[in-house]
Amino acid sequence: MNFSIRGQQIDVTDALKDYVDKKLSRLEKYFDAPLASEGYVTLGVVRGLHTVEVTIPLPGVMLRAEDRSDDMYASIDAVVDKLERQIRKHKTKLNRKFRQEGSLKTLFTETAVGLAPPEQKTEEDYEDFEVVRTKRFTFKPMDVEEAILQMNMVGHNFFVFSNIDTQEVSVVYKRNDGKYGLIEQTESDSY
């Protein structure tokens, strides 16, 4: 698995790159075959905290984890632990889904080191995603600035709206650094 490592407001040294590669290589044991996709790692310093973000795009799934601490190496360790928990928690569901669809063999290996044998699975491994509330509303066409104002007025950290400029559904959200992000719909053939 290859990773693109970049720094934000920090110089990424060879020692940091080697440490990231070494730690993230632990994830390879969870997959049947070597991954062809490239993962993305962002190392940064925000308000004195060392931030690590890892994104691994997989067929039909996106693994992502983020951590902040006073030490960059501790943040890297924590992110890898979070990614391993995500894989362990969802591997049964994902493998079941892909086997039923028949589009992929299996994404995660069934016999990875560190995974609980079938008789030791916990209730968490079989947790279903349950929708507990549904909201319906009509979208008022608005620009991004108005959507941010609306989001702040309702006190949420995201807001779904009909973008007047693109005529598409978009989402604005408040980032951890206090700035705002915009998610826009794109056309994709890979579903």
Q: All domains of the chain, ordered by start, with CATH? A: 2-126 (3.30.160.100), 141-184 (3.30.505.50)
- Per-residue pLDDT, 133: 82
Name the residue with higher pLDDT: 157 or 100: 157
**Total residue length of the chain:** 191
Lookup: tokens for 36: 């062809």
Does the pLDDT of residue 75 top 70, yes or no? yes
Does the pLDDT of residue 108 top 70, yes or no? no
Name the residue with higher pLDDT: 165 or 111: 165
The Cα diameter of the chain in Å comes to: 54
66 has which bridge partners?
53
Give the highest mean pLDDT range of 56-70, 85-99, 167-181: 167-181
Average pLDDT over residues 120-137: 66
Closest CA relative to residue 135, chosen from 120, 154, 117, 107: 154
Query: Which band of pLDDT confidence, cut at 50, 70 and 90, is reported for residue 19?
Result: very high
Does the pLDDT of residue 84 top 90, yes or no? no
Does the pLDDT of residue 159 top 60, yes or no? yes
54 has which bridge partners?
41, 65
Give the highest mean pLDDT range of 18-27, 81-90, 131-140: 18-27
Helix axis angle for 72-101 and 14-24, nearest 10°, is 40
Give the highest mean pLDDT range of 53-67, 87-101, 115-129, 173-187: 173-187
- Per-residue pLDDT, 180: 94
What are the CA-CA distances from residue 43 to residues 19, 155, 169, 182 (Å)? 12, 30, 31, 22
- Per-residue pLDDT, 182: 95
What are the CA-CA distances from residue 74 to residues 82, 104, 160 (Å)? 12, 35, 35
The model carries a pTM of 0.56
Name the residue with higher pLDDT: 24 or 103: 24
1-5, 48-52, 91-95: range with lowest mean pLDDT: 91-95
